[in-house]
Structure 1
């Protein structure tokens, strides 16, 4: 326990610092300026494309720059460039292996081999350009003509695949100093550009209608195979092996599914047919990339502007001023601050690194165990993905997949988000009471009066919410909020000028790489599901389980959603789970919105579910705690949240469906249930709980959560009895 006289110091500017990954290169000098410029241009390209701005637009057509895109771009071309740009930046910035700590550890031979493979890669790119010239001159292109097929296979595809596979393998063993460019990664960047040039050329003709048929050029399949390998390799570098392994399992399933028994059986699919379709809008260029190329990158740019204008620092200071005095103050601050930041940045683990660098040491200082401090931050950061209006971009993916208006989704998320954060808050409060913790003193905290003087820094968030609910498009609302973040900075010492604006776009370009890679990789899985029909067969399995017990079917769906989400950022986790699990729930007669919220909720909290709990692992690294223990503790802290989705079915009012008095009643009973469940989980409810009383409180909580009138009354009566015992009878025995 920290001494009462100890003064707790903190620096909220940590929240606006950019975390640096272990395998990220750190350039300087001309190299830094080049890479920073590329990242800035990449983010600017998206902002311009999404808002239909180009040089010719700005000059009224007086200035025409050859080879620059004309906006708005054709959808598939835009998504291809979006993925290719992330691949290029990602390979340059993130190493495929460790760094050399001196000239003696460098691997020049592998570098020379990589440079040799540049020749076939460059040859493939030249051939792709040659194809484009032929097509523009009127040559009819199809997948049946023998000469075209030969050229695409041996002049384009074979060299490209040789360079891609060689570059990937060499990058696993190549060592270069942290501040230098690596030859295998420059090779992979060239391969990514070649894939993009070819696909834009071919899909720019009628060939996009031939995918999956014998008329599809073999080059599409070969380019898609190379592109898939590149996406999986970058995903390994920026997000670890979990999603790559899952993607590999699904890819293997495509070609062995016809050999499997039962509901796993799928039709035999030729590799050419599969890969000619997987790099289209049924797979990699489908819903996941559609969202990452529009809403996600837009809000990453918004988050970067908030960071550059020091609004993130203000959010943390405001949360400390508001909640720092409460018992276990830093833990409750983590709930508020991480919820605000996590709502915007879209990754639970990333948010843990940003805000946890401040809150976790403070929680340890006032007496929380290392793993508990990390677990609280992980649970709070994960909850940000459920908080409207942005929901870590999850709301926009749900709108894209379901066709339900975004505003309906944001409104429906209000009570589930409140229940999640209330459950974490109750757990933290009970734990603080149990350990006899104090809050922080006035001299340790920012002054609330001073914070209120800068409340205008919330203006960008307010503008975003108001614009969305006034019916503005998400892109227009996000752009207005981004501009507002720059404007309000002029009312602070951190004014955003040209340099800081360019820095914000550079930061956004770097921040976007991970989420774009995992969304593209998730697109591979979505493509497998749609092309093999395994999703429909999984739906039939859930229907069969529901015949014996709907609760069993829901429990099975929960397990699959959590399993699919392990090791993935929220957006990718939800996209995959929505493709597999949600259709089965809808077939059970569950409303579309309810089914998708069920899946989304569990995809989100997979980040704090052992054994692969990314948010908990990120917190453990900061706290210095054992990762597996931390993941178990984060599961305990978020335990009440695991019950919430089951409430949706018995109490649809929790998703704002029904009369207002029904919604209010459902909300109150669910909140009481979560409160009692938190007490049962911590073993503290107006005093320490004896085991039989703890069991009684657990039963009361589950009765309140079930959603029926009789069960609510029973749970309330039992809960009041426990309260009476704890506050009266137990106190007399002390």
Structure 2
């Protein structure tokens, strides 16, 4: 924003809030190396856009290029170790490191050259038959070399952000070798993968691919997801020795790994969505970021609500929810927008743990906010076959209930602690910002085109074009350089989800191969014979446990494969079952003891991570209740008659207010412990389905209101009348 426009708009609070913060292990190479990586990233993004919009590719080929391109960019941009700005000069390699890198170079080099020779013979001489000796012998050296490179990177990677470790360059060549082999034999591989006809070369390529995926997932998301994938892989081989419904006959390594690298596993639904809808909307978010529209969203929210009591917290609820909807990751959104909102919340009186918890709760809620839902809507559409527009419409009321509940809690907390907002003199001027309301056009155009019958891909492309065009009405005009930056940024932002979706695909493949999902369904049916709500509670716990420590996308993909079929077998409609597990997969980000979003907020606020996660759990309590609400009342998913939908929504909103008042301890005045219990009981009554339960809830709410207003006192109750 220029100096003159900034002066006219008043103080500018948000600047660069949607910029992606650098991860602790993210590299920042300069000069030619940095430019080469930027060009590679932009080419990766352009490839996806061209294939999606203009020139479709065969499915396996497209998804393999998507995965392996992501691996190459990931290993170039993310180190195995944390980076430091003052790492100092590079040290001389010791004998162990030299030996590891030598083994890696020989093994990966041999495998890469054999694959390159096969492709060269095909392109130059038209020889489509692969070299038999080479394809029999390339694989084991490739696996050994890849393992050596991973170990060397774990131990010896440079701490300097500007340097790319040699072992990571070798891992890039290993990724290309895997891609080259699978694409060379893809026609035959589609027929023989996962069967007794699978070849040893298929095994080695698939095994190398799984190792590369798990290593990149570890670098980007930590060990939690890798450990969970490792447990599922071990389960595939240990099945014959496991008891009860976990028992299965077991599988050979060749059958297992070749099956995993098919469209039933790594190349299955999660990567199908990652390679289309997710990357499309990440690039859309990158265009919004490059045009500084994200800054406008936050400044507009501050102009609207910054002066209200607890203003920064209310801004966090709206702005973080909106940004979280677009960028698709709870913890990442906490780090970006929380760097602004958390200090301001602390300034007006919120405790550090509460400030961090509010930001974490709002950012996590963005994953359930239509129309984008952090890519969850697209994965759900892919898995269930339900049209995307139906999923988005069904998500409206549950998302409304969640954000209304969080808003009530924030507002009641401010009332209870007598908080004020920020001074108007320190806030952007609403009268000026409202004249720039056209900056919401990319979002409006996206929503309109989605519901006007356009395909999701065309709608996303039009949203990107709108973001670029709208930027010309601002000081941040998007020219060729800014568009190139947006394309580069889109690739870098998508890498985490590529790794996560590929790792989740391994789990989905294990579930499909072993049939454990069907056996879990049988277990749920057995529990439901005793009590259906007990079975739902069990499904909730499993969904949360599966999601702990994992990004939303992976958490939902796994829960959809394990838990959702069991709910459907209970007679729960497909849409309801998938929304049920989706909500709990999302809320695992704020559920103790492994609450990634809450931990990210705690790091910014300086609060205790565990106390922050407990506070976030309290603030997001509505999300743990709402799925049971729409399980009992499908009207909350827009299923049913209009009057029934209105009735269910109105009573649920009142229930959210009573729940918030009970949790915070403020209901038209400070609420005693017994009153808080009564408020929560009244809320649960309102949440239950039926006129009688609604009347009970309203009656308790009115009685408590009269008690707080001193209309009813212990004396009047004893006399049987009100004075």
- TM-score under structure 2 length normalisation: 0.94
Could you tell me which of 80, 103, 128 is aligned with 1:96? 80
Please say if residues 103 and 145 of structure 2, whose CA atoms lie closer than 8 Å, have aligned partners that are also in contact: no
1:614 aligns with 2:600: no
Partner of 1:652: 634
Distance in 2 of aligned mates of 1:107 and 1:629: 44
Partner of 1:48: 50
Equivalent position to 2:459, from 477, 488, 491: 477
Q: Distance in 1 between matches of 2:237 and 2:224?
A: 21
Pair 1:87-2:71 in alignment:
yes
User: Which residue is 1:424 aligned to?
Assistant: 406
Question: What's the CA shift string for 1:229-268, capped at 9, x where partnerless?
Answer: 1000000001111111100000000000121111111222
Are the aligned partners of 2:685 and 2:694 in contact in 1 as well (CA < 8 Å)?
yes
User: Does structure 2 retain, via aligned residues, the 8 Å contact 1:115–1:184?
Assistant: no
8 A contact 1:617–1:630 mirrored in 2: yes
| Alignment CA distance shift 1:310-1:139 (3 Å) | closer
Give ranges in structure 2 of 5+ residues lacking alignment. 1-9, 716-723
- In the alignment, which residue of structure 1 is the partner of 2:24? 22
Partners of 2:471 and 2:12 in 1: CA distance: 23
Alignment of 1:191-206 (within 5 A): 191-203=174-186, 205-206=187-188
Please report how far the alpha carbon of residue 104 of structure 1 lies from its aligned counterpart in structure 2 after TM superposition.
Answer: 6.3
Contact 1:566 1:607 in 2 (8 A): yes
C-alpha distance in 2 between matches for 1:232 and 1:9 = 46
Q: 1:504 to 1:265 in 2, by over 3 A?
A: same
Alignment RMSD (CA, Å): 1.8
**Could you tell me how far apart the structure 1 residues matched to 2:127 and 2:73 are?**
35
1:253 aligned to which of 220, 235, 241: 235
Partner of 2:33: 31
Distance 2:440 2:678 in 1: 44
Contact 2:652-2:686 at 8 Å conserved across structures: yes
Aligned position for 2:497: 515
Q: Distance in 2 between matches of 1:104 and 1:390?
A: 45
User: Is 1:344 the equivalent of 2:326?
Assistant: yes
Q: Is the 8 A contact 2:108 2:173 kept in 1?
A: yes
How far is 1:115 from its partner?
A: 4.8
Residues 536-547 of structure 1: pairs in structure 2 closer than 5 A: 536-547=518-529
Q: Is the 8 A contact 1:364 1:370 kept in 2?
A: yes
The whole-number CA distance in structure 1 between the counterparts of 2:199 and 2:417 is 68
Question: Relative to 1, partners in 2 of residues 1:107 and 1:700: Cα closer, same or farther, differing over 3 Å?
Answer: farther
Alignment of 1:380-419 (within 5 A): 380-419=362-401
Q: What is aligned with 1:125?
A: 112
Larger deviation, residues 623-632 vs 401-410: 623-632
**How far apart are the structure 2 equivalents of 1:402 and 1:350?**
28
Q: In structure 2, how many angstroms separate the alpha carbons of the residues matched to 1:688 and 1:9?
A: 36
Match of 1:706 among 661, 667, 688: 688
Contact in 2 for aligned 1:14/1:357 (Cα 8 Å)? no
Between the aligned partners of 2:505 and 2:288, the Cα distance in structure 1 is 29
Shift of 1:410: 0.3
Query: Residue 546 of structure 1 contacts residue 552 of structure 1 at CA under 8 Å; is this kept in 2?
Result: yes
Alpha carbons 1:398, 1:596 under 8 Å: kept:
yes
1:265 matched to 2:252: no
Distance 1:731 1:507, change over 3 A: farther
Cα distance change on mapping 1:370 and 1:106 into 2, 3 Å:
farther
Matched, 1:244 2:258: no
From 162, 165, 173, the equivalent of 1:182 is 165
SS in 1 for 2:251: coil
C-alpha distance after superposition, 1:146-194 (max 9, x if no partner): x94x6434x2111110111111111110131221110111111110110
CA deviation vs aligned residue, 1:440-493 (integer Å, no higher than 9, x gap): 222121111111100000111111111111111110000000010000000000
Matched-pair contact (CA < 8 Å) for 1:334–1:359: yes
**Residue 446 of structure 2: SS of its match in structure 1?**
helix
Cα distance change, pair 314–99 in 1 and its aligned pair in 2 (3 A) = closer
Q: CA deviation at 1:562?
A: 0.7
Q: Give 3-state SS (helix, strand or coil) of 2:138's partner.
A: helix
- For the 8 Å contact 1:115–1:183, the answer to whether it is kept is no
* Partner in structure 2 of residue 715 of structure 1: 697
Shift of 1:640: 2.2
Structure 1: runs of 5 or more not aligned? 1-7, 53-70, 142-146
Counterparts of 1:622 and 1:341 in 2: how far apart (Å)? 18
Give the drift of 1:439: 1.7
- Please state how far the C-alpha of 1:272 moved relative to its aligned partner: 0.5
Q: Deviations over 1:646-689 (max 9, x none)?
A: 00121110000000000000001111111101111111111111
Figure out how many residues of one structure are paired with residues of the other and give that number. 700
Counterpart of 2:4 in structure 1 is none
Q: In the superposition, relative to structure 1, how do residues 106 and 386 fare at CA in structure 2: closer, same or farther (>3 Å)?
A: farther
CA displacement 1:387-427 (0-9 Å, x = unmatched): 11110111000000000000000000000000110111111
State the distance in 2 between where 1:286 and 1:613 align.
27
Equivalent-residue separation in structure 2 for 1:730 and 1:483 (angstroms): 61
1:210/1:133 CA distance change after superposition, 3 Å = farther
* 2:719 aligned partner: none
1:239–1:568: 8 Å Cα contact kept in structure 2?
Answer: yes
Give the superposition deviation at 1:718: 1.1
Give the whole-Å Cα distance in 1 for the aligned partners of 2:539 and 2:503: 22
Q: Is the 8 A contact 2:398 2:626 kept in 1?
A: yes
Q: Distance in 1 between matches of 2:235 and 2:620?
A: 34
SS of 2:109's equivalent in the other structure is: helix
Check the 8 A contact 1:284/1:524 in 2, yes or no: yes
The 2-side partners of 1:637 and 1:9 are apart by 31
Change beyond 3 A, Cα 1:621–1:14: farther
* Corresponding residue SS for 1:472: coil
- Of residues 125, 141, 149, the one that matches 1:167 is 149
Aligned counterparts of 1:701 and 1:216: Cα–Cα separation in 2: 58
- Partner residue of 1:63? none
Determine if contact 1:107/1:175 at 8 Å carries over to the other structure: no
What is the Cα deviation at residue 107 of structure 1? 4.3
| CA shift digits 1:474-529 (9 cap, x unpaired) | 10000000010000000000000000110111111111111110010000000000
Q: Which of the numbers 73, 78, 93 marks the counterpart of 2:62?
A: 78
Compute the displacement of 1:209 (Å): 1.1
C-alpha contact (below 8 Å) 1:235/1:518 kept by paired residues: yes
Aligned to 1:58: none
> By how many angstroms is 1:127 displaced?
1.4
- Structure 1 window deviating more from structure 2 (722-731 vs 375-384): it is 722-731
Deviation of residue 728 (structure 1)?
2.4
What's 1:318 paired with? 300
- Cα distance per residue 1:200-238 (max 9 Å; x no partner): 1111x2331111222222211111111001000000001
How far does the alpha carbon of each residue in 1:355-411 deviate from its partner, in whole angstroms, 9 at most, with x for none?
Answer: 111100000011111110000000000001111111011100000000000000000
Pair 1:349–1:668, CA change in 2 (3 A): same
1:294 is aligned to: 276
Deviation per CA, 1:24-54, whole angstroms, max 9, x where unpaired? 11211122111111111111211112112xx
Distance 1:437 1:554 in 2: 40
* 1:131-151 CA-partner distances (Å, limit 9, x unpaired): 44677856667xxxxx94x64
| 1:279-678 map, 5 Å | 279-678=261-660
For the residue of structure 2 that corresponds to 1:15, the secondary structure is coil
What SS does the aligned partner of 1:646 have?
helix
* Residue 12 of structure 1 pairs with residue 14 of structure 2: yes
In structure 2, C-alpha distance between the alignment counterparts of 1:12 and 1:565, rounded to whole Å: 32
Give 1:129 deviation, angstroms. Answer: 3.3
